[in-house]
Amino acid sequence: MHKVVIGLSGGVDSSVSAYLLKEQGYAVEAVFMKNWEEDDDEEYCSASRDVEDAKTVCDTLQIPLHTVNFAAEYWDSVFSFFLEEYRAGRTPNPDILCNKEIKFKLFMDYCLQHRGAEYLATGHYAQIEKNADTYDLLKGQDENKDQTYFIYTLGQKQLSKTLFPIGHLNKPEVRALAKKMNLITHDKKDSTGICFIGERKFKAFLSRYLPAQPGEIQSLTGKVLGQHQGLMYYTIGQRQGLGIGGQAQSLEAPWYVLKKDLDRNVLIIGQGHDHPELYHKQLQCKDLHWCRDVSPSLPLSCKAKIRYRHKEESCILQATEDAEIFSVSFQKAQWAVTPGQAIVFYQDRHCLGGGTIL
């Protein structure tokens, strides 16, 4: 009997994943991973509730539950980088780095080496396809929940030792299975917070770790329109929270963040969702990772998306004179290209890999 360790988060997806693995005849153990130490008066992180739900699920399914704490490693490998990126005016995606450095590295090693598992399983909406000696990462069957964007950094080693039990299901089917099996998580709300940190008032949370540096909000022509509270609190395309109110002799259209002038500590804004400065046909990226561990031939014609909830668009990926930097040209201009976010490449249902937007 093959032994599998399921990373049990206390949510419905991993709960149903554990059930399916047991139904498929695996010897299943669950591990709850804690990677953030909450304050005594923590209001937003639900780790204590999650672990209780995980215990209840394991009791229902009659599988053992273990716990492991990677809080120190999470701080060093993920959160410190997260802060550095915000300090530099970029908008990082900590979930991607968490999957790379914690879930599918430290946690995987723990499961395979210390718990004696043959495979690590998670509740991601993704699929793995084996062709000869190659493992390909495929989108989850549920296009609305597909999570390959967050796990594009997985390579052959990780894919060969990973199972995604719910990748062939859609979300309503997962919840229906959970309800049928009387799992306490069947109607639990999906988590939308920062990986392992939870759902928080983001500005207040970030201000604990980074000192704010207020500065001017300006139009493209240099007109001063207000004061920002720190460039780290804003992202390209942001509409809410600019705090400038109505402007005399201005159109009624809402204002959006167009760019950040880091050298002058100035936030530059413009009016209208379709402001031309928000659209770009080209971008540059770095730190490319390929799921097959080898780069495809460049230039590469494929599709890509520049954020999780974004439609894939046709593009061409090319090398530049700088071996570490790559250029992406889209057929259609992309809205709110954001430095620090990931660009992920696809061909049909295959996730090829991705990189970080410059």
Mean pLDDT by 10 residues, the chain (358 residues): 95 97 98 79 64 96 97 93 92 94 97 97 98 96 96 98 98 97 94 62 83 95 95 94 70 91 96 97 98 97 96 97 98 98 98 98
Residue-level pLDDT at 191:
75
39-45 long-range CB contacts below 8 Å, 24 or more apart? 43/200, 44/193, 44/198, 44/199, 44/200, 44/201, 44/205, 45/193, 45/197, 45/198, 45/200
* C-alpha triplet 260, 101, 163: angle, nearest 5°: 120
- HSE on the CB side for 20, CA within 13 Å? 23
Residue given tokens 């031939």 in the structure block: 297
**Gyration radius of the chain's alpha carbons:** 22
Residue-level pLDDT at 204:
81
Under DSSP, is residue 267 helix (H, G, I), strand (E, B) or coil? strand
Separation CA 310–CA 307 (nearest Å): 5
Phi-psi region at 353: left, alpha or beta (left = phi > 0; alpha = psi -120 to 50): left
140: Cβ contacts below 8 Å, ≥ 6 apart: 124, 125, 126, 127, 146, 147, 148, 164, 166, 167, 168
Separation CA 354–CA 137 (nearest Å): 12
**What's the CATH code, domain 3-202?**
3.40.50.620
Separation CA 23–CA 19 (nearest Å): 6
List the domain boundaries for the chain.
3-202, 212-273, 279-357
Residue-level pLDDT at 116:
97
User: CATH assignment of 279-357, given 1.10.275.10, 2.40.30.10, 1.10.1200.30, 3.30.1370.140?
Assistant: 2.40.30.10
Residue-level pLDDT at 44:
47
pTM over 0.85: yes
Separation CA 342–CA 93 (nearest Å): 7
Residue-level pLDDT at 192:
63
Residue-level pLDDT at 37:
76
Residues annotated as catalytic are 98, 195
CATH architecture of 212-273: Roll (2.30)
Separation CA 225–CA 219 (nearest Å): 7
